[in-house]
Amino acid sequence: MKQYVWIVNYLLVACTCTWSIPALAQVGNVKHIPVRNADTYEGLSINVLDFGARGDGKTDDTEAIRAAVKAAYERRTIPQHPQYGYFVSFAEVYFPSGHYLINDTIDISYVKLRGENYAAIEQLDPEKDLFYAHDAWRQIIEELTFLGGKVQLNLGNPNVDSGHVIVRDCHFKNSRGPAVQLRTGTNSTQFIVERCVFIRCEQALVTNCDLCVLRDCWITSQQTMKNKAVIENYLTLHVDNLLAVPQAQRGEGYTEEWTDLQGTKHTTTNQRWIDNYHTVHIRNTRFGGEHGGFSAVWNFAPFGSEEPVQPTSVTIEDSYVYANHSAAVVLKDLPNVLCMSNCNGLNNAWLVRVDPKLNLDTYFDEANRRSTRRMTINFTGNHGENGTGLPQQLWPYQINDVLATAPPTAGQWTQGRFIKNARLTGLWTTGYQAPPAPAANEPYGWVCVEAGTPGTWIPVRFLP
Taking the C-alpha atoms of residue 97 and residue 89, their distance in angstroms, rounded to an integer, is 25
Query: What pLDDT sits at residue 78?
Result: 62
Do the beta carbons of residue 184 and residue 157 sit within 8 Å? no
DSSP designation for 435? P
Confidence class for position 24, pLDDT limits 50, 70, 90: very low
pLDDT at residue 162, as a whole number = 83
Is residue 198 scored above 90 in pLDDT? yes
- Give the model confidence (pLDDT) of 56-100 as tens digits: 999 999 999 999 999 998 887 665 555 555 666 788 999 999 999
User: Binning pLDDT at 50, 70 and 90, where does residue 309 land?
Assistant: confident
Q: Which range in 257-266, 271-280, 373-382 is most confidently predicted, on average pLDDT?
A: 271-280
Res. 347 pLDDT band, cuts 50 70 90:
confident
Q: Amino acid identity, residue 68?
A: A
Higher pLDDT among residues 24 and 322, named by residue:
322
Interatomic CA distance for residues 359 and 142, integer angstroms = 47
Q: Looking at the predicted structure, is the pLDDT value of residue 41 above 70? A: no
Q: How far is CA 405 from the centre of its chain?
A: 39
Arithmetic mean of pLDDT, 218-241? 97
pLDDT at 42: 61
| Gap between the terminal Cα atoms of the chain | 124
Q: Has residue 130 got a pLDDT over 70?
A: yes
Closest residue by Cα to residue 69 from 118, 30, 102 = 102
**Mean pLDDT to the nearest integer, 407-429:** 82
Q: 292: exposed, middle or buried (C-beta count within 10 Å: 0-12, 13-18, 19+)?
A: middle
| pLDDT score for 325 | 85
pTM comes to 0.87
Q: What is the pLDDT of residue 349?
A: 86
- Percent of the chain's residues with pLDDT above 90: 65
pLDDT at residue 312, as a whole number? 96
DSSP state of 431: T
Q: Which helix (H) or strand (E) holds 130?
A: none
| Enclosing H/E stretch for 381 | none
CA dihedral 267, 272, 277, 281 (to 10 degrees): -120
When the pLDDT of each residue in the chain is averaged and rounded to a whole number, the result is 86
* pLDDT score recorded for residue 76: 73
Using 50, 70 and 90 to split pLDDT, how confident is the model at 430? very low
Identify the weakest region by mean pLDDT among 350-354, 381-385, 449-453: 381-385
pLDDT at 43: 62
Q: What mean pLDDT comes out for the span 188-194? A: 95
Give me the domains of the chain, ranges plus CATH numbers: 25-399 (2.160.20), 401-464 (no CATH)
Please state the rounded mean pLDDT for residues 314-326: 94
Q: Are 245 and 220 in contact (CB under 8 A)?
A: yes
